[in-house]
Structure 1
Amino acid sequence: MTSELSSSLWSDTCKEKVTAPPLRDDVSADLVVIGGGYTGCSAALEATQMGAEVRLLEAGTFGGGGSGRNVGLANAGLWLPPEDINAQIGADAGRRLSSLLADAPDMVYGLIEKHQIACEPVRKGTLHCAHASAGMTDLARRYEQLSAIGAPVRLLDADEAQARVGSDQVYGALFDPRAGTIQPLSYARGLARAAAGAGAMLHGETPALSATRNGDAWNISTPQGRVRGKHLIVATNGYALAIEGLQTPTKVPVHYFQAATDPLPDHVLDQILPGLEGCWDSALVMSSWRRDREGRLIIGAMGALDHIGKEIHLGWLRRKIARMFPALADMPLRHIWFGRIAMTTEHLPKIQRLEGGFACFGYSGRGICPGTLFGNRMARALLSGDETCLPVAPVTTHRLPFAGVRQAFYETGATLTHLLKDRL
């Protein structure tokens, strides 16, 4: 399999369609958005609803980047626990960000309901599972911090966690009822459809080639057209292409692969994830698992599938399934795909200030709810002129030294872990 979106379960089961012809004219807009994932589509939807004329440029297909390749966990927060966030950006800013993110699943599921997005929404919570008994120490710390800010989380012992997962390979879990799962590509394309329905003009297969600021407007050139706009939002995150005249923010690309089985047999459906929670574990090289609406098991972990370590990753995955869910040991994997996560050193998303615009990036594997929130708030801030609504304070520059070295470190670590781990 390759990294192409066509190889994924999400592409095969996506029920949302987007009409977005390439830009072939010289046009103008109040807001130009570059990037057709969660952030860009959310920004376009909010701006259009505020009465702005919007042009959204997507280099490929809508949801074709990380928005269409991820696990589909709609989480109420970031990877970092609250006190770690506070340590990075200050207590007041941290508490505000955590509060906004706590409500972000309400925003996501509210948009799904309002616009009737066909993305298999299930809001039965998530389980952050201890991969070993030592993992409970970290989960207990997270539980204390989340409880302290009013999050309705519960710490589950090994017996309850194993019953919910359907495996004796977890040692406890942190349950968050605010969260859930979705079909991630369908959600991205549903947001795009909603934005178009509100009046935004969407253009697929339209990469931005250059961007220049002339006076009070941006001029964005594309292969067959040009758009002039007062405001600009760059929302390309982990799949950014070079745009002449704009500095691409540096991120650490971390890859994550997944595989999906056929729908599970009836006799195991009531044993494996019977409550339909989405799960991930506390291991340093993280893995995740969930079910979709048709009862398929979707399981994955850190790692890329475009190099010599591909068979190592997939070999580990088959061992992982056999160990966690012995009844599924011989089930074939029908879909295998991977995508790219954009990480920052602090594991916090960033908003970078542009003249008359913003660039947003670095969700570090938590793109669905934060992306929806950040896109919405950037559009509001630009059109209203009031930046107090932004989830984080904008930065003027962002540098991340040795990003390529860090990427190699993560991938090498994942490959070596999967070479040695879960051998029976």
Structure 2
Amino acid sequence: MKNDPRSHGLWECSAPLAPPTTRLSGDLTADVVVLGAGFTGLSAALHLAEAGASVVVLEGVEIGFGGSGRNVGLVNAGMWVMPDDLPGELGEVYGTRLLHLLGDAPSLVFELVEKHAIACEVERSGTLHCAVGAKGLAELQERARQWQARGAPVHLLNAEETAHKVGTSSYSGSLLDLRAGTIQPLGYSRGLAGAAIKAGARIFISSPVVDAEEADGGWRVRTHNGSVWAKWVIVATNAYTTHVWPQIRAELVHLPYFNLATKPLSANLRNIILPERQGVWDTNEILSSFRFDQQGRLVFGSVGALRGLGQSIHPNWGRRALRKLFPQLADIAFEYEWYGSIGMTSNNLPRFHRLARNVVSFSGYNGRGIAPGTTFGRTLAQLVLGYIQEADLPLPMTEPEPVRYRAVKEVYYEVGAQIAHAATARF
């Protein structure tokens, strides 16, 4: 997008076309104006429109421009935080609610894909969280125990079972989560947009919001070429928030993440590597992830930005790391490379904010945007529609808290990933 092949890479080249949209021109009125056309904003718009509300979505660039169109495409349940730790972080009531909601979140994604016939290369064979060494295996053993105590369909696999499913003996075990799967994320975003438009929502791209102010009992949200007056505002810009309600950006540390996609592999290789088509990520502190697309390309990613020195360091690391995992891929070339930003919070949990009267947001997905973003979008729609109250939400209402030394931390992540990837191939 924006003539940058490193923004969305493979996903932009393989996703179905976005539904026809235009730039906002003139002044409109709606019940709700949604800022951001990613998973959260589009899910909110779809559920609001299906309930009969008048909805306008304002997107600064294009549908799925932010993390929603760039990520790996793993549709995972839960968050990074261990299940037993959530009540301690959020209190018993909110912790239990969030566990139930996000444990079931992948099913909502798959239901929407089926209901609206969204072409997004959906695979429902689960995901594999792979253990690196004894420490990684101990972490997964505990995670498995906690989820299984709650009846979740997760299974701890030993090294041999993991090698059979992944195609490498590099891991000491894995956690198979049958609730999860993979999608083509930009295709999913565009499909949600098409479904929302069909339900009656109006979506405008190339329409960045320049300011917002209370007016006539609601909010007047302005772009360069028009405005929308609405009673409610949903802010769904997350890590790509700019200067309007900038307190969201101020509490998020950007973690860069890149993906590299090989050329399509042969049928023989696809029968050995991830033969059941699970998506994978590992327990390393600087994690890596990989999965197939439907054309047989292996999409391989890790922490880092493909700019400056990272343009050469990270792809070179990717070749070395793939060679260690799968020696058969020693001579494989990457056809696509792209990257984006993950919004990280101080406790690895998302945030719900009431930014002003009738202005609400969820943000801070910490690399788990697909299923939580879809689910929280529906939750915001339910709140605006009056189906639920703030006291019924899965997260407490909090005030945004700026992260100290945020810029320093972001530089540390980017440069640290370059140093780590320059020095090692991980295994």
**115-124 vs 89-98, which deviates more?**
89-98
Segments of structure 2 that go 5 or more residues without pairing to the other structure are none
Q: Which residue of 2 aligns with 1:398?
A: 401
SS in 2 for 1:101: helix
Contact 2:6 2:306 in 1 (8 A): no
* In the alignment, structure 1 residue 417 sits paired with structure 2 residue 420: yes
Deviation at 1:7, TM superposition (A): 5.2
Residue deviations 1:261-320, cap 9 Å, x none? Answer: 111112211100001000000000000011111111110100011122332222111100
* Amino acid of the structure 1 residue aligned with 2:365: Y
State the secondary structure of the residue aligned to 1:209.
Answer: strand
Tell me, in whole angstroms, the C-alpha distance in 2 between the residues paired with 1:171 and 1:129: 8
Q: Contact between 1:8 and 1:335, CA under 8 Å: does it hold in 2?
A: yes
Contact 1:180/1:277, CA 8 A, preserved across alignment: yes
* Identity in percent: 43
Indicate if the aligned counterparts of 2:304 and 2:417 stay in contact, CA closer than 8 A.
yes
Structure 1 residue 246, shift from structure 2 partner: 5.9
Counterpart of 2:378 in structure 1 is 376
Amino acid at match of 1:279: V
Q: Secondary structure at the match of 1:263?
A: coil
Report Cα offsets for 1:75-110 as digits up to 9, x if no partner.
011111112222211122111101001111110000
How far is the alpha carbon of 1:215 from its aligned partner?
4.5
Alignment of 1:112-261 (within 5 A): 112-243=113-244, 247-250=247-250, 251-261=252-262
**1:19–1:391: structure 2 CA closer, same or farther, 3 Å change rule?**
farther
Equivalent pairs, count: 423
Aligned residue identity for 1:117: I
Calculate the TM-score normalised by the size of structure 2: 0.96
SS in 1 for 2:307: coil
The CA deviation at 1:398 is: 2.7
Match of 2:306 in 1: 305
Show structure 1 runs of 5+ residues with no match.
Answer: none
1:364 paired with 2:366, answer: yes
Does the 8 Å CA contact 1:5/1:11 hold for their aligned counterparts?
no
> Residue type of the partner of 2:425?
D
**Does the C-alpha gap of structure 1 residues 306 and 126 become closer, same or farther in structure 2, counting only changes over 3 Å?**
same
Opposite residue 255 of structure 1, the aligned amino acid is P
Q: Retained in 2: the 8 A contact 1:60–1:206?
A: yes
**Following TM superposition, by how much is the alpha carbon of 1:16 offset from its aligned partner in structure 2, in angstroms?**
4.2
Residues 270 and 219 (structure 1 numbering): CA distance in 2 closer, same or farther, change over 3 Å?
Answer: same
1:387 is matched with 390
Give runs of aligned pairs for residues 32-181 of structure 1, distance below 5 A.
32-181=33-182
Q: CA RMSD in A?
A: 1.7
Deviation at 1:382, TM superposition (A): 1.4
Q: State TM-score, norm by structure 1.
A: 0.96
Q: Which residue of 2 aligns with 1:18?
A: 19
> 1:7-39, CA deviations, whole angstroms, 9 ceiling, x for partnerless residues?
510000001422221110111100000000000
Q: Residues 260 and 301 of structure 2 are in contact (CA less than 8 Å); yes or no, is this contact kept in structure 1?
A: yes
CA distance in 2, matches of 1:178, 1:309: 34
* Cα distance between partner residues in 2 of 1:246 and 1:262: 40
- 2:281 equivalent to 1:315: no
> What's the CA shift for 1:405?
1.6
SS in 2 for 1:119: coil
